[in-house]
Amino acid sequence: MAQAYMTETGSGGQGPDRRGSWLRRLTDTLRGDRGIWRRGTVLAAVAVILALVMLLHARIPNRVGNLGSLNETFLPWLGVLVPLLLILALVRRSATALIAVLLPAVIWLNLFGGLVGDKTATGGELTVATHNVNAENPDPSDTARDVAASGAQVLALEELTPSAVPVYEKALASTYRYHAVVGTVGLWSTYPMTGVKAVDIKLGWKRAMRATVATPKGEVAVYVAHMPSVRVKLAAGFTARQRDTSAEALGESIADERLDKVILLGDLNGTMNDRSLKGVTSQMRSTQGAAGSGFGFSWPAAFPMARIDQIMVRGIEPVSSWTLPRTGSDHLPVAARVKVDTSAS
């Protein structure tokens, strides 16, 4: 009896050794349930496939329905499947599935773990913002006031219609002394702008522009672009050929830019993971990735699932990046604070 009592209370006599008891139960389960390794093989296979899709996303071909770009657009959301597989593995009491689920979990953290934390900092001399205002926006005046309230010294608007342009100009006149509209995109600034011109993105109509903004810390080349829309169709897949052509042309224009300091504002209809935007993303930094908090999804505004509205920089240091409250558009506005003078960095 004394020996049994000592086993239950432990050597210190301080009550049951709960850790030892838990380990014994786990050991007994593993010994007594030999099916724990045989069950859940299908779940394990799904976990391995999920891991491969994330790990080899750049190898998924675009030849059939642009599946590669479609996968990369919503790539972060594949992580939602990890806890689901974990729950199913626990329900099935499958050690094989539990171990397999570790693979996609580790890969997802490697790809996107850096975006989860808060990288925002203080400082910077320039606040910029961009917003696809939506051609069917029911209240452009309120939208203009909302984005101006962000405190941005430089503001880009996309999807402007001829009838709405005067409304935006009137609503923003008191905040921004300088502005220019080229086709369906516009740029408003509290600092002088020169060298305004359209940027040819191979569409046949104007949806991109460039201007030199004279900030107190030096001249900055500011590009505004609205890439062609993409569609997901059952028969055709992810139709993005026109967007891809425009992105390539925009990348060439930015590569030829004479100024060292460059900011790109706009709706690129693609994420930083989308290989089809590499002509742009390979030479510029995302402010959200460098100085944001979380993923900063901007579309659709009702339930944002992707960051397709971008603020990107070259020769400039991102300090912070965030999304703004919803307006009458189907996109969220995005803003960033940057350090133009990087000589002291």
Enumerate the domain spans of the chain.
Answer: 33-116, 126-339
Residues 308-336 have a mean pLDDT of: 98
Residues 184-203 have a mean pLDDT of: 97
pLDDT of residue 88: 96
Model confidence at 56, in pLDDT bands (50, 70, 90)? very high
Model confidence at 314, in pLDDT bands (50, 70, 90)? very high
Strand 262-267 relative to strand 218-226: parallel, antiparallel, unpaired?
A: parallel
In whole angstroms, give the CA distance from residue 69 to residue 57. Answer: 9
Asked whether 308 and 277 are in contact (CB, 8 A), the reply is: no
Q: What is the pTM of this model?
A: 0.86
HSE of 35, CA atoms in CB hemisphere, 13 A: 4
pLDDT of residue 333: 98
Asked whether 311 and 263 are in contact (CB, 8 A), the reply is: yes
pLDDT one-digit tens code per residue, 60-109: 988 777 788 889 999 999 999 999 999 999 999 999 999 999 999 999 99
pLDDT of residue 40: 93
pLDDT of residue 240: 75
Model confidence at 24, in pLDDT bands (50, 70, 90)? low
Asked whether 146 and 324 are in contact (CB, 8 A), the reply is: yes
pLDDT one-digit tens code per residue, 115-128: 998 999 999 999 99
pLDDT of residue 269: 94
pLDDT of residue 6: 42
In whole angstroms, give the CA distance from residue 267 to residue 134. Answer: 11
Model confidence at 32, in pLDDT bands (50, 70, 90)? low
- Kindly report the average pLDDT of the chain as a whole number: 90
- Per CATH, the homologous superfamily of domain 126-339 is Endonuclease/exonuclease/phosphatase (3.60.10.10)
pLDDT of residue 18: 58
Model confidence at 22, in pLDDT bands (50, 70, 90)? low
Tell me the two tokens of residue 112: 């996107």
pLDDT of residue 13: 47
**Residue 1: is its pLDDT beyond 50?**
no
Region of 101 (left: φ > 0; alpha: ψ -120 to 50; beta: rest) is alpha
pLDDT of residue 201: 97
State percent of the chain over pLDDT 70. 87
pLDDT one-digit tens code per residue, 231-257: 765 554 556 788 999 999 999 999 999
pLDDT of residue 29: 59
Q: Which residue has the higher pLDDT, 326 or 63?
A: 326
Residues 154-175 have a mean pLDDT of: 97
